[in-house]
Amino acid sequence: MTDPRALDGSGTDQVFVVFSPSGRRGLVPAGTSVLEAARHLGVDLDSVCGGRALCGRCQVVFTPGEFHKFQVSAGPGALTAPGAAETRYARRRSLAPDRRLGCSAQLLTDAVIDVPPESQVHRQVIRKRAEAREIEVRPVTRLHYVEVARPDLEVPASDLRRLCTSLADQWPGLGDDMTCDAHVLGTLQKTLRNGDWKVTVALRGGNRIVAVWPGLRERVLGLALDIGSTTMSAHLCDLATGEVLASSGAMNPQIRFGEDLMSRVSWAMMNPGGAADMTRVVREAATGLAGETAREAGAGPDEILEVVMVGNPVMHHLMLGIDPSELGFAPFALAVDRAIETRAAELDITLHPGTRVYAPACIAGHVGADAAAVILSEGPYRRDDMTLIIDVGTNAEIVLGNRHRLLACSSPTGPAFEGAQISSGQRAAPGAIERVRIDRTTLEPRFRIIGVDAWSDEPEFPTDARVTGICGSGIIEALAELFLSGLMTADGTIDGTCRERTGRVFADGRTFSWRLAGDICVTQADVRAIQLAKAALYAGSRLLMDRLAIDTVDRVVLAGAFGSHIDTTHAMVLGMIPDCQPDRVFSAGNAAGTGARIALLDHEARHEIEQVVRQVEKIETATEPRFQEHFVDAMAFPHRTDPYRRLRRLVDLPEPRAPAAQSAARRRRRP
């Protein structure tokens, strides 16, 4: 093989350098710094200070030795010894023994240079779930340290112009056609002078100056906000590393205007200024979460330069200051269904004056920016297999498709899954029953409550544990277990005849109830409420499947706080989701929040989801006759069906009892 330097035809003043793991290689003049060589060869090596041995982002590893693979023999003296600047950095900030600053170490002879992951500009945030995509860290806002030329009477150029010229000169790849936020102008001159003409610039999109600080600044933060009707959550991230520095949650203070979405829309419709009030309190809460997470991370709220905000259409509109009244009735017209980018200040969220807020597009009147974020997080549009994504809430948002086609709808499940409309129901909070099992023989239940790890029948279960109610996942499991243990028929009737076998079933007016623990019972009305909710959920999914003319899906992803807490097997027993291989049902956790984080860290993902959302086919359940059909069909619990038979292999499913009504009918037919 030819010596690669021969290709270049250069003299002996050239050295051959190979970067790992990229494998990029080439000749550079002896004396070139590793950082310059990396830039020259297109190697991804980070730097904020622009090569001044200040930020330490360009750390590399050099090991002398023979690298036959690369035809490189690197002596220990391949790099210059650490100079004054690097030594100062090592003393001030500590530098591992095997590390060198790429900006200071100069190449004297051939070398192989290793770029560790944390020194790469383009990183990935690894997600825990095996099937989830990694998050690329390609933030829209980056920091650039720059030394600005001082003003000169002979060459009159404004401070801003010299700043831009210095940036373009000192940062390869930056043009000098930069624009600048107006607020920056107000403080620019003082900042430049306070920093003795050395400043750090936050550049947005590579060409807009949104902030300037004196001296070296190494961190810029972003906030991913998920505005739920009930709870709001915030994740504060380092925009350069993707690391989550702090997380916080809060109740949505709009609850005082109405428990669920529709009551808030009604509030807006009935009360002049009602929408504005709800906008104000949710923005205050968002500002509060930003401050809280910043405090936790030891940062100021003004270090947050990017915010991504997702929520259902009503939350989305209220955050943007849009009265959501139109979302309260057909045709459920959104004000806007494209991505929004605006200033945080315009939303009265007080962070840095240059902070931007990005909100992905709402998809339809009941399918919000949170659904867009879920799609971004789960990426069905990148897959060949057919994925059904269900984000359960008062309105379930359902997405079905693959890389060829993507459909979305919402289904009015009502608040039963959130514990509302359930006699002993409550929100998921400490003391709420979240897991239920019923012994198939003794018919005795055991349960787990939020906040306590032990099951109720285990010795570790505290005797004084306060059991306050049953939350959504608890009621799902309770119903599935009642059905599996034969205490409930397939049509959802608590079977009074079981009173012979257990004292927990008791007559409760004209129907029967089942006592779970203390005075916490499951009534027949509770069962009906959950049946309505799960039938709506199922019917929505079926409607989308009809459109694609499919009967099964390859994967089911349950998203949302509720979706991540329910046991997927029990959900299948209940018939909440269509037929699917049980091991292909996943719980995605707060996928909307994850999607917000992806959009926060990766500006290319924003374009991606904007494209995808535009392609999503919106199905309106309210006007689809088939929705009603599916809804009615889905009221009963699945039995004698293929999926049910498959489930039997997973859980100890009994031969189900015939629905009471059906057996009665059958009895009538065969007197």
Which are the contacts of 650, defined by CB distance < 8 A and separation ≥ 6?
A: 569, 582
Residue closer to a copy of itself (CB basis): 351 or 471: 351
DSSP labels, 156-202: ---HHHHHHHHHHHHSTT--S--EE-HHHHHHHHHHHHHTTTEEEEE
Residue closer to a copy of itself (CB basis): 307 or 577: 307
Residue closer to a copy of itself (CB basis): 39 or 356: 356
> Could you give the angle at which helices 524-547 and 625-633 cross, rounded to 10 degrees?
130
Query: Rounded to the nearest whole angstrom, what is the least distance from the CB of residue 354 to a copy of itself in the complex?
Result: 12
Query: Rounded to the nearest whole angstrom, what is the least distance from the CB of residue 598 to a copy of itself in the complex?
Result: 23
CB 447 within 8 A of CB 460: no
For 132, the token pair is 């989830």
**Gap between the Cα atoms of 479 and 468, Å rounded:** 18
Residue closer to a copy of itself (CB basis): 180 or 588: 180
Q: Omega of the bond prior to 462 within 30 degrees of 0, cis? A: no
Query: Rounded to the nearest whole angstrom, what is the least distance from the CB of residue 438 to a copy of itself in the complex?
Result: 44
Task: Name residue, tokens 């270049």.
Answer: 8
Residue closer to a copy of itself (CB basis): 90 or 320: 320
C-alpha dihedral, 164 to 169 to 174 to 180, nearest 10°: 0
Reduced to 3 states, what is the DSSP secondary structure of residue 66? strand
Residue closer to a copy of itself (CB basis): 310 or 334: 334
Query: Rounded to the nearest whole angstrom, what is the least distance from the CB of residue 623 to a copy of itself in the complex?
Result: 6
Residue closer to a copy of itself (CB basis): 125 or 347: 347
**Gap between the Cα atoms of 263 and 266, Å rounded:** 5
Query: Rounded to the nearest whole angstrom, what is the least distance from the CB of residue 340 to a copy of itself in the complex?
Result: 7
CB 216 within 8 A of CB 277: no
Element (H, E) at 14: strand 14-20
For 233, the token pair is 């959550």
Closest CA to 520 of 567, 587, 456: 456
Residue closer to a copy of itself (CB basis): 409 or 635: 409
Element (H, E) at 396: strand 396-401
Residue closer to a copy of itself (CB basis): 200 or 279: 279
- At 404, which amino acid appears? H
Phi, psi at 588, each rounded to 5°: -100, 0
Query: Rounded to the nearest whole angstrom, what is the least distance from the CB of residue 549 to a copy of itself in the complex?
Result: 20
Residue closer to a copy of itself (CB basis): 152 or 384: 152
Residue closer to a copy of itself (CB basis): 327 or 577: 327
Query: Rounded to the nearest whole angstrom, what is the least distance from the CB of residue 4 to a copy of itself in the complex?
Result: 45
Closest CA to 393 of 591, 248, 256: 591
Query: Rounded to the nearest whole angstrom, what is the least distance from the CB of residue 176 to a copy of itself in the complex?
Result: 11
Query: Rounded to the nearest whole angstrom, what is the least distance from the CB of residue 283 to a copy of itself in the complex?
Result: 13
Residue closer to a copy of itself (CB basis): 63 or 179: 179
Query: Rounded to the nearest whole angstrom, what is the least distance from the CB of residue 606 to a copy of itself in the complex?
Result: 15
Binding site for a copy of itself (CB under 8 A): 151-154, 156-161, 180, 182-183, 185-186, 188-190, 320-323, 325-326, 330-338, 340, 342-343, 346, 362, 364-365, 618, 620, 622-623
For 547-567, b where at least 16 C-beta lie within 10 A, e where not — what string? Answer: bbeeeebebbbbbbbbbbbbb
Query: Rounded to the nearest whole angstrom, what is the least distance from the CB of residue 287 to a copy of itself in the complex?
Result: 17
For 159-195, b where at least 16 C-beta lie within 10 A, e where not — what string? Answer: bbebbbbbbbebbeebeeebebbeebeeebeebbeeb
Measured in residues, the chain has a length of 671
Query: Rounded to the nearest whole angstrom, what is the least distance from the CB of residue 336 to a copy of itself in the complex?
Result: 4
Sheet holding 396-401, edge to edge: 585-589, 555-559, 387-391, 396-401, 406-411, 617-618
Query: Rounded to the nearest whole angstrom, what is the least distance from the CB of residue 596 to a copy of itself in the complex?
Result: 19
CB 546 within 8 A of CB 627: no
Residue closer to a copy of itself (CB basis): 44 or 620: 620
CB 45 within 8 A of CB 38: yes
